[in-house]
Each structure stands twice: as C-alpha cells, then as structure tokens.
Structure 1
Amino acid sequence: MELRDATVLVTGANRGLGAEFVRQSIERGAAKVYAAARRAETVPGGDARIVPISLDITDEAMVAAVASTATDVDVVINNAGVMTMQNLVSGDLDAIRLELATHFWGTLSMTRAFAPILAGNGGGAILNVLSVGSFQVFPGNGAYAVAKAAQWQLTNSTRLELAAQGTRVLGLHLSATDTDMLAGVDMPKNDPAEVIRQALDGLESGLDEVLADADTRAVKALLAQPPSEMYAGITQ
C-alpha cells in the first residue's frame, strides 16, 4: 500500500503518535490526511493537505458522519486511545468501560464504517495501533490490557474478513513510547518518530504486524510459555 498520492485518515491526530502519523504520511507524499480529534481546532495545521476533522470514535453517529464525508479515504489509521490505569476487580467501572469503548468498540465502529469505502477505492489498508499490553498485563493496568487484547483479536479477525475485498489490516505493537500519555513517567521510552517510521514501512511493504521494539518482541515470544514465565518477577 503506497502512501504517495493516497488519502489517509488518522484518529487521535492532535498529539503524540497521531501527530507523528500525520507528519510522516505527508512526508511520504500523501495527497490528503484527514486529521481527526475530538476537537478539530486542536490539530496542528500549516499544510493544505492536512484536513482537521472533529471525531470521537466512541460516538457512532460521529463516525458515520465522518464516513459520509471522507469517501476518498485509502488508509485508516486507528490511533486514538486512552489509558485509565484501572484494576479490573477494584477499579472504576466507567473507566474500564471507556477503555473498551475506545480501543475495541471505537476501532470496530471505524472499521465497519470505512470498510465499504476502502473496498470502493480499491482495497486500501487499515492500521491499528495496539500495544505490548495486548500480550502482557501489569498490576494497575488491567483495563488497558484487556481492551488492547480485544483490539488485537479484532485486528486479526478483520484482517481475515477484509482480505477478499483487498483491504490489508496491520497491527502495530509497541511498549512505552515518549508521548503525552506517558509524560512524567520515568522509564525508558521509544522515540515516536522511529515507531511510526516502522509502522508506515510495514504498511507500505504489506506486513500484517509490526513489533516496534525489543521489549515487545521479547514479550510476544513468551506467549508460547506458561504464564509463570511471562509473569516471573511481576507483583502487585
């Protein structure tokens, strides 16, 4: 899937990974990038090819309205996300529901709305931003991990379902990255520009999955091992 001359839609485009997806898509020659955020005025401008749009992916009516307007889209990048840091047993249920509403239901809503558009435009591609949390959970982050695991299987399922119409579906998994979401957290972090470079390289070369860093690759390899191996040394 070539980005040159393509029309791209990026959710959560006003900061962090989303803003980097917009920047690098333009850099690679995209003809237009719909930069979606809850408030379009928060999207950085400066290039006529960037079209800010208001979109809350948890609002099905807003998703449908955007799909009815952005009928020229070739690539959908489902980047919008939240991290509420909730345990499942003792955490706030509304926050847990928000995680699933965003990462699972929001991604599904976008996929269902844009699948016919992508088919009509020749197939195109969907890129879902996932996480090392799709594979491994840490105490205090159960809601995020559950939502990302669900989004991972959504990615795998829709890849199979959309293959017949020629739509590629790529999952991007990454560990801690230097964005607003983790601002103030003192830990090693990925460079967002490098993560997005890998993601878009994978998109253009037709990959199904990108594991963006060594930590994520190591954790995924542990899926074949007993849980005691995955969670050795991890305590509450």
Structure 2
Amino acid sequence: MDLSASTVLVTGANRGLGRALAAELLARGATVYAGARNPDQIDLLGAKPIALDITDPASVAAAAQATGDVTVLINNAGSATGTDLLTGDLDNIRLELDTHYYGTLSVVRAFAPQIAANGGGAILNILSVLSWVTFPEHGAYCAAKSAQWSLTNALRLQLADQGIRVAGLHVGYMDTDMVRTIEAPKADPADVARIAVDGIAADAYEILADDPARQIQPALAGGVSALYPQLP
C-alpha cells in the first residue's frame, strides 16, 4: 500500500502511540485525521484534528460524516483501569469492553463503508500481547483485548471481499502514560509506530512489534501449561 496516497484516521491521536502513529504517517506523506475526544489537544503540524469519542455513537457518526475520504483506519484509542475480574468494579470492566471491543466495532462499522467506497484500503487494530495471555490483576483489560483480537479476526474475513485488509498489531509495554506506574522494559512508541506503519505498507495481517509479542505468539501452540507455568 502506498501510504503517501492514503488518507488515514488515527483514533486516540493526542498522545502516546496514537500521536507517534500520526507523526510517522505524516512523515511518509499521508493525509492524517487525528482523532481525540478533545481535538484541541492535537499538536501535530499538518494533522487534521477531529473530535472523536469512540464510546459515543453520535460522536463516531459525526466523525464519519465530517470526513469522506478515509482509506486507512487505525483503531488506537484505549483505556486501562487496572481492574481485577473477581473483585473489581463492574463499571470499570464495562468501560474496558465499551472502549476496546464495542468502541472499535462502532468505528469500523462507521468507516468501513467509506473505505470501501474509496476503492478499499486497510484497518489496523492496536492489540496487545495481553490479548493472548492474561495477568489477573489486569483481567478486565486482558478480556477486552482478547475480544478485540477475536473481532479483528472476524472483520478481516468479512471485509476482505470489499478490498479492506484488516490487521492486528500485538505489542507489550510501551513507554506511555497508560503504563507509567509499571516497572518493566518498555518499547519506544516511535519505534512501535514505525513497525506498525511498515506492516500496513507491506499489507501484513499480523504485526508483532516487540520481543514479548514474538515470544508469546508461539507459546499459544503449547496450550495452558506453556502460557501459565505457575499453575499446579
């Protein structure tokens, strides 16, 4: 895919990976809509700020109505409440699902017809290694990301005949505000953005952005004992 001839919508583009993705795309000559709940927070020269709250159907519909030329959609907006499934607040669990699953689905349903009408293109869902393996203390996030991975698999099958290639990016911790309190090795969002955009350009279906993703993917074939060796 020639990204210099593409018009891309990036959700959650006001900070973190979303901002890095928008910057990388702009550097490659793409036209970029930078989506954020508060578009005044978009500070990238050349980006087109657009109001977009992916959990608000009216906001999603308004964003689709305000564009019309999108050929690539990157579903990056996310949340992380740090909620345990057994003891955590159910509202936080619902928020994770509303954001990562229903929010992503809502945006895809709004923009896939636009992408198809413009001759086809691509959708990239920003997933996580936690769509493949679960940390109980972040059970709500993991469940939502697993649902988003399943959504990605379904969409790539359903949208293929419309000329829309649906990809998923799997990544571990990145050096962003979302995980600022976690002590662990973290990837540079700019590096992840470059790998993600390379993957879109190469028409990849699955993009593994760092060592944790590359290590966990083959462990899936080993079953529960490979993923959770701590179990008796």
TM-score category (smaller protein): over 0.9
| CA offset digits 1:149-174 (Å, max 9, x no partner) | 00001011100000001001110000
Q: Secondary structure at the match of 2:136?
A: coil
Q: Secondary structure at the match of 1:4?
A: helix
Q: 1:120 — aligned with what? A: 117
Q: Does 1:111 align with 2:108?
A: yes
In the alignment, the residues of structure 2 paired with residue 129 and residue 226 of structure 1 have an alpha-carbon distance, to the nearest angstrom, of 24
| 1:80 CA drift (Å) | 0.1
Equivalent of residue 183 in structure 2, options 186, 199, 204: 186
Q: 1:158 — aligned with what? A: 155
Determine what percentage of the aligned residue pairs are the same residue.
53
In the alignment, the residues of structure 1 paired with residue 76 and residue 27 of structure 2 have an alpha-carbon distance, to the nearest angstrom, of 18
Contact 2:54 2:104 in 1 (8 A): yes
Q: Does 1:140 align with 2:133?
A: no
The one-letter amino acid paired with 2:219 is L
Q: 1:22 — aligned with what? A: 22
Q: Does 1:200 align with 2:197?
A: yes
Normalised by the length of structure 1, the TM-score is 0.95
Equivalent residues in 2 for 1:1-236 (5 A)? 1-30=1-30, 32-47=31-46, 50-233=47-230
In the alignment, the residues of structure 2 paired with residue 155 and residue 110 of structure 1 have an alpha-carbon distance, to the nearest angstrom, of 13
Q: Secondary structure at the match of 1:168?
A: strand
Contact 1:138 1:234 in 2 (8 A): no
Q: Secondary structure at the match of 2:69?
A: coil
| 1:224 CA drift (Å) | 1.2
| 1:186 CA drift (Å) | 2.0
In the alignment, the residues of structure 1 paired with residue 10 and residue 45 of structure 2 have an alpha-carbon distance, to the nearest angstrom, of 17
Q: Secondary structure at the match of 2:191?
A: helix
In the alignment, the residues of structure 1 paired with residue 231 and residue 100 of structure 2 have an alpha-carbon distance, to the nearest angstrom, of 25
In structure 2, runs of 5+ residues without a counterpart are none
In the alignment, the residues of structure 1 paired with residue 136 and residue 161 of structure 2 have an alpha-carbon distance, to the nearest angstrom, of 40
| 1:234 CA drift (Å) | 7.7
The one-letter amino acid paired with 1:208 is Y
In the alignment, the residues of structure 2 paired with residue 15 and residue 184 of structure 1 have an alpha-carbon distance, to the nearest angstrom, of 17
| 1:215 CA drift (Å) | 1.2
| 1:139 CA drift (Å) | 2.1
Normalised by the length of structure 2, the TM-score is 0.97
In the alignment, the residues of structure 1 paired with residue 231 and residue 180 of structure 2 have an alpha-carbon distance, to the nearest angstrom, of 23
Structure 1 runs (4+) greater than 4 angstroms displaced:
none
In the alignment, the residues of structure 2 paired with residue 193 and residue 117 of structure 1 have an alpha-carbon distance, to the nearest angstrom, of 28
The one-letter amino acid paired with 1:155 is T
Contact 1:103 1:147 in 2 (8 A): yes
In the alignment, the residues of structure 2 paired with residue 176 and residue 89 of structure 1 have an alpha-carbon distance, to the nearest angstrom, of 24
In structure 1, runs of 5+ residues without a counterpart are none
The one-letter amino acid paired with 1:118 is I
